[in-house]
Amino acid sequence: MIELRRPSAELLSSYLDMMEEFRANNEKVWEGTVPSETESSRDFLKRLQNSELHLSQGDVPSSVYWAVINERVMGRISIRYELTEYLIEFGGNIGYEVRPSARGKGFATEMLKLVLETPQTQKMKQVLLTCSPDNEASIKTILKNKGEFVRTAFVERMKRQTNYYLIRLS
């Protein structure tokens, strides 16, 4: 089954190939999830590998994982260990995506389960997830991992209706 691995040079080309798949599918590629114009591959990897410690302005400590089967990256998931007002309103503690060609096989459900089981996440009381009310696959992924619906609200800065869920851990 799927395995969560830390970003590495060995997996980088498969990861970047997944990001190309998002672009080809006209999906949003979030800033910071690909190398910036001035960033080398090495610096990009270092940034992802050290996201717990070396923070740029406005960042909170986080871990980034790549979900892998047979050395192929199928998805990415990141967990932020702290929340800012900005993240409470939109973004929450956890973000994830699955390669378009690998969807509907249970990978997101498994990735979220695995990230909730990591020792660092287990130290948290609860995690907040935000999601569009139209994103049926993500809503099911959250509910299957014991997510509790909290509320829905319009987020002005994103111009988006947003659902909020909590997963309690202790």
Ligand X SMILES: CC(C)(COP(=O)(O)OP(=O)(O)OC[C@H]1O[C@@H](n2cnc3c(N)ncnc32)[C@H](O)[C@@H]1OP(=O)(O)O)[C@@H](O)C(=O)NCCC(=O)NCCS
Which residues of the shown chain bind ligand X in the complex (CB under 6 A)? 27, 96-98, 103-109, 131, 135-138, 140-141
> Do residues 42 and 8 lie in contact, with contact meaning Cβ atoms separated by under 8 Å?
no
Supply the minimum distance, in Å, between the C-beta of residue 25 and ligand X.
9
Task: Report the residue number, 108 or 166, with the smaller CB distance to ligand X.
Answer: 108
The sign of the dihedral angle between the CA atoms of 76, 89, 120, 146 is negative
* Alpha carbon distance 10, 132 (integer Å): 34
Task: Report the residue number, 39 or 150, with the smaller CB distance to ligand X.
Answer: 150
* Alpha carbon distance 88, 157 (integer Å): 13
Q: Which residues in the chain belong to E strands, given as ranges?
A: 3-5, 62-69, 72-80, 94-98, 126-131, 148-155, 160-168
Task: Report the residue number, 35 or 91, with the smaller CB distance to ligand X.
Answer: 91
Task: Report the residue number, 31 or 37, with the smaller CB distance to ligand X.
Answer: 31
Supply the minimum distance, in Å, between the C-beta of residue 54 and ligand X.
25
Supply the minimum distance, in Å, between the C-beta of residue 100 and ligand X.
7
User: N- to C-terminal Cα distance for the chain?
Assistant: 27
Task: Report the residue number, 32 or 46, with the smaller CB distance to ligand X.
Answer: 32
Supply the minimum distance, in Å, between the C-beta of residue 8 and ligand X.
21
Supply the minimum distance, in Å, between the C-beta of residue 16 and ligand X.
16
> Do residues 68 and 11 lie in contact, with contact meaning Cβ atoms separated by under 8 Å?
yes
Sequence-separated (6 or more) residues with CB below 8 Å from residue 26: none
